[in-house]
């Protein structure tokens, strides 16, 4: 439905449109003008009163999964009210519409399915993807989040069930970064799934086939990317939760050709770098003086390592020196030159050493100051591992980033390190009490990065997203952790202030884009006021907009 079609809606059709529906907030005059009399209870309510009722419903739900289902129904009938609720308390609602609850949602997405949201582009649409994309009713799509479902939150390949991820990611663009929701488009690129159980599930909604060979997939993705440029020429493609080898390959293929980025690679790298910058400020040390040990050697580890190398170069190291400070292990052991199963990207971090699968032995050899978990192996940072890190370092930096099950909990890290660990996980843990000390664990989650990055890109319209911009995003975030917060061991700003944080980051990134000649719009006199003027606000628009003038 086009914008002009929407402006002519009346009666029940208007109430069924989530973009224009106001429910009980339609005034008496609007009800008469728009054929709504008798279709609504007589009481006219404010948006705030409607939000109060929605909050009461949410409070009554027994689980976060039930709250997610309620919120999904809410956005399907009244988008403005949905965002009013989310933006009223992001710290409460982000874990519901995003990780960790979203992992449970994706496992059962086909079973929970209510109505379509976004677009499903499948292999049987080859040769006519541009034609299919034109079915989307909004011509000016500015952010398209696309997944194949090949690697979702530690769940592996869940095919079309992965559609919950782009939906949730783009909702955070708006809830946390105030990017107008009508400019976003979730896309499931359905290439089939390796998950035989899903293919046998009678309620599964995706293609019931194995993914195609690499050459066929590459041609399909090329057509898709080209079609996006044709149909939505100002659009940024946000690659999300692709199989690791595909994620790396497509980022390298398209990052210098089109406006795109991969959140699992670049977003994870940026938010990790931000936490490290803050932790090292607490320690009074430089990034270039650290030794890093990654448990996990997939796309997240490689993307983070590559960004760390670039950041250490800025501190004076050569590329070789910076890479020598990064060591990786995966399920097959230490990443070292004798292994024949390594990718080209992994070989950059394969340093001469005796093979081993023993994490403790590797820690003793390498003596890392930073331990990062991107392994999806929950509980892998055992008590001996954390105790050894604390023995080697006065303030060990421990980042178990796997979602939904991190390599160790905050309570374990603080307890096993005698309260000396500088800790952040991929999920949020509650504060930890040890004696009279209170520890506030950080959440190294990408929602601290991509909404602000998205708002800056929305405002400035660059042609590309560079590593320099990703590093700037990390520093923009780290600079918002106050000295008093650092003194309490906090590595990230409070989630309760996420919208302010993202807008501030967006202003900083816009400054960078203008300063480096990357923006394609005129520089305003007051960047902050300019960006704030573009921010989405969850309020009902003017009556004329609903009535079509």
Q: What's the CA gap between 194 and 183, in Å, rounded?
A: 32
Q: Is 151 annotated as a binding residue?
A: yes
Q: How far is CA 121 from CA 113, 128, 192, 238, 339, in A?
A: 17, 10, 11, 15, 38
How far is the C-alpha of 100 from the C-alpha of 264, rounded, in Å?
Answer: 16
Q: Is 63 exposed, middle or buried (0-12, 13-18, 19+ CB in 10 A)?
A: exposed
Distance of CA 284 to the CA centre of its chain: 30
Q: How far is the C-alpha of 438 from the C-alpha of 99, rounded, in Å?
A: 25
3-state DSSP helix/strand/coil % of the chain, to nearest 5? 50, 10, 40
Q: Which two tokens stand for residue 498?
A: 């996420």
Instruction: Count CB atoms within 10 A of the CB of residue 90.
Output: 22
Is 257 annotated to bind ligand? no
Helix residue ranges, H only, 284-428: 299-314, 319-324, 344-347, 359-366, 383-392, 410-416
Active-site positions read: 98, 169
| Own/partner long-range contacts of 192-196 (Cβ < 8 Å, ≥24 apart) | 192/123, 192/159, 193/149, 193/157, 193/158, 193/159, 193/160, 194/157, 195/156, 195/157, 195/158, 195/159
Q: How far apart are CA 44 and CA 485, in angstroms?
A: 44
E-strand spans in 32-155? 119-122, 143-147
CA distance 81 to 26: 13
* 240 annotated ligand-binding residue: yes
- State the DSSP H helix or E strand holding residue 434, giving kind and residue range, or none if neither: strand 432-434
Asked if residue 184 lies in contact with residue 167, where contact means CB atoms within 8 angstroms, the answer is no
**What are residue 188's DSSP bridge partners?**
120, 147
Q: How far is CA 107 from CA 74, 152, 157, 158, in A?
A: 21, 9, 10, 7
Mark 249-278 as b/e (b = at least 16 C-beta within 10 Å).
bbbeebbeebbbbbbbbbbbbbbbbbbbbb
Residue 440: exposure state from Cβ atoms within 10 A (0-12, 13-18, ≥19): middle
The response to whether 49 counts as a known ligand-binding position is no
DSSP 8-state assignment for residue 264: I
Distance CA 395, CA 290 (A): 12
Residue 549, classed as helix, strand or coil, is: coil
Binding-site members for (S)-malate are: 151, 445
Binding-site members for a divalent metal cation are: 240-241, 264
Binding-site members are: 151, 240-241, 264, 445
């Amino acid at each position: 439905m086009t914008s002009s079609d929407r402006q002519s809606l009346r009666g029940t059709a208007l109430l069924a449109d989530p973009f224009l529906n106001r429910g009980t907030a339609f005034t008496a005059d609007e009800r008469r003008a728009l054929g709504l009399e008798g279709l609504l209870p007589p009481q006219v309510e404010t948006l705030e009163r409607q939000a109060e009722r929605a909050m009461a419903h949410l409070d009554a739900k027994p689980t976060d999964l039930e709250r997610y289902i309620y919120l999904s129904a809410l956005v399907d009938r009244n988008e403005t009210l949905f965002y009013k609720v989310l933006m009223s308390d992001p710290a409460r609602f982000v874990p519901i519409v995003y990780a960790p609850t979203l992992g449970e949602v994706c496992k059962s997405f086909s079973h929970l399915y209510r109505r379509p949201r976004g677009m499903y582009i499948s292999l049987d649409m080859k040769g006519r993807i541009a034609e299919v994309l034109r079915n989307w009713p909004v011509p000016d799509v500015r952010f398209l989040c696309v997944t194949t479902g090949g690697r979702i939150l530690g769940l592996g390949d869940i095919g079309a069930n992965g559609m919950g991820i782009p939906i949730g990611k783009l909702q955070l663009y708006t809830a946390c970064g105030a990017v107008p929701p009508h400019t976003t488009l979730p896309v499931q690129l359905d290439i089939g799934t390796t998950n035989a159980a899903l293919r046998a599930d009678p309620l599964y909604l995706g293609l019931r086939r194995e993914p195609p060979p690499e050459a066929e997939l590459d041609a399909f993705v090329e057509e898709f990317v080209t079609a996006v440029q044709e149909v939505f020429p100002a659009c940024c493609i946000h690659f999300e939760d692709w199989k690791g080898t595909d994620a790396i390959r497509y980022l390298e293929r398209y990052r210098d050709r089109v406006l795109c980025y991969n959140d699992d690679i670049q977003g994870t790298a940026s938010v990790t770098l931000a936490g490290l910058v803050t932790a090292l400020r607490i320690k009074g040390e430089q990034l270039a003086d650290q030794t890093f040990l990654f448990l996990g050697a997939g796309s997240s580890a490689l993307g983070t390592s590559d960004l760390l190398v670039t950041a250490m170069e800025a501190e004076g190291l050569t590329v070789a020196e910076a890479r020598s400070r990064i060591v990786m292990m995966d399920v097959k052991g230490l990443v070292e030159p004798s292994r024949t199963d390594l990718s080209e990207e992994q070989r950059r971090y394969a340093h001469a050493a005796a093979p081993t699968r023993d994490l403790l032995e590797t820690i003793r050899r390498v003596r890392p100051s930073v331990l990062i978990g991107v392994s999806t192996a929950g509980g892998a940072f055992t008590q001996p591992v954390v105790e050894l890190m604390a023995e080697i370092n006065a303030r060990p930096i421990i980042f178990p980033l796997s979602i939904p099950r991190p390599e160790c909990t905050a309570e374990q890290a603080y307890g096993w390190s005698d309260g000396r660990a500088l800790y952040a996980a991929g999920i949020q843990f509650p504060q930890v009490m040890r004696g009279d000390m209170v520890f506030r664990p950080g959440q190294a989650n990408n929602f601290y990065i991509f909404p602000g990055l998205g708002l800056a890109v929305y405002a400035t319209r660059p042609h590309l997203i560079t590593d320099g911009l990703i590093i700037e995003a990390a520093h923009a975030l780290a600079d918002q952790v106050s000295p008093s917060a650092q003194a309490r061991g906090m590595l990230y700003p409070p989630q309760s202030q996420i919208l302010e944080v993202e807008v501030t980051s967006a202003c900083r990134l816009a400054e960078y884009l203008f300063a480096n000649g990357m923006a394609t719009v005129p520089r305003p006199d007051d960047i902050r006021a300019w960006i704030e003027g573009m921010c989405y606000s969850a309020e009902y628009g003017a009556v004329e907009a609903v009535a079509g003038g």
